[in-house]
Structures are given as structure tokens and as C-alpha cells.
Amino acid sequence: MVISGNPYWLLPTVLDLAEDRTREYLPERLKEYKAGIDGGYEVRDAAQLPDIVGLKEIPWVFGKKYMDVYQWRVRRSFALEDAVISGSPLWLLDTVLKDAEERGQATVQEGVDRIRAGEREQIKPRGRKPAAEPKPTPKLVPEARTFRPGEDSVEDVAAFAAELLNAGFAMTVRPKR
């Protein structure tokens, strides 16, 4: 499968190829697998790939709004998707055009041309945005120190406290006996 120009193998496909359900397979097993796919074909040039559209591009084909297409799907008055990947329905452009012709729906040639030219709606990135600037490395907290009467002076305690406060650390003092 090719998505956004990058080849991907779906995990169930890979596991089906491997005899022992690992991710390693024999080339002859791949050949058998490909031969068993009805209507499947292999392309060497991206120009041979069929045009695939999702919910964001279908409104271009009909000159409609996204919600119109959504309603068609809810009412089941639109072609069934050709594939579903990660929960997103996908159609071959030819499937959409054939369905439109069968239902007598008008299409917008400009939208079809945009899709055939490789234009696609921006996909909203998932996950967190990368930070504009990398987070600074957190300061290492100095090791705890124990001060005892007769062993350490008030000046030692004050110097350590000043060092912590000047470095931006908070400090809690819990006296012990």
C-alpha cells in the first residue's frame, strides 16, 4: 500500500506472509501472497497509482461542503469506501465518479482535475506539536547534605542554602534530632 507516496505494509499482511507469525518472510511466500490478491497489481512508477480520496477531497468532486458528503454517508446514499485505514474511509476516485454517474449526481471537473494533479487537503497532524525551541535540560538537583552540630558551622549551612537559592531551587528545612 502506498500512502502519501510512501510504501507501507499493514501488520496483518506481514504476519500472514510469515509462516511462524514473525515479521520475517520468504520471497516465494510474498510471490504466492501477491498472486492470491484478486484485482491487485504492483506498480513501479507512482504515476501508475490510482487516485485515492478521503472525506476531505470528496467535496471537491461535487462542489459541496464536507457536511453534505457526511450526510450522504449517514444516509447511505454514497458509495461504500474501498478501504478503511486507521478508521479513515478511502475511495478510489474512479469509484466516486462511477457512483456519481450511476446516481445522476453532477461533478465538478475542476475538483477532479485538482485530485488527478496530486493536490490533497491538508491533513491535521496528530499528537503534540514539536516545540519551537527545545526544552532546556533541567538542572541537576544537588545531593542532599546533612549538617550536624559540632561538625558543620552556620556558615557551611548558609553557604549551601545560598547556593541552592541562587541556582533557582526551592528549599525546605526539616529539623531532626
> In the 3-class helix/strand/coil scheme, how is the chain assigned residue by residue?
CEECCEECCCHHHHHHHCCCCCCCCCHHHHHHHHHCCCCCCCCCCHHHCCCEECCCCHHHHHCCCHHHHHHHHHCCCCCCCCEEECCEEEEEHHHHHHHHHHHCCCCCHHHHHHHHCCCCCCCCCCCCCCCCCCCCCCCCCCCCCCCCECCECHHHHHHHHHHHHHCCCCCCCCCCC
Q: Which domains does the chain carry?
A: 1-49 (no CATH), 50-123 (1.10.1660)
Look at residue 122 in the predicted model and tell me its pLDDT. 75
Look at residue 43 in the predicted model and tell me its pLDDT. 72
Look at residue 11 in the predicted model and tell me its pLDDT. 65
Look at residue 169 in the predicted model and tell me its pLDDT. 87
Look at residue 8 in the predicted model and tell me its pLDDT. 64
Look at residue 57 in the predicted model and tell me its pLDDT. 92
Low-confidence ranges of the chain (pLDDT < 50): none
Look at residue 80 in the predicted model and tell me its pLDDT. 92
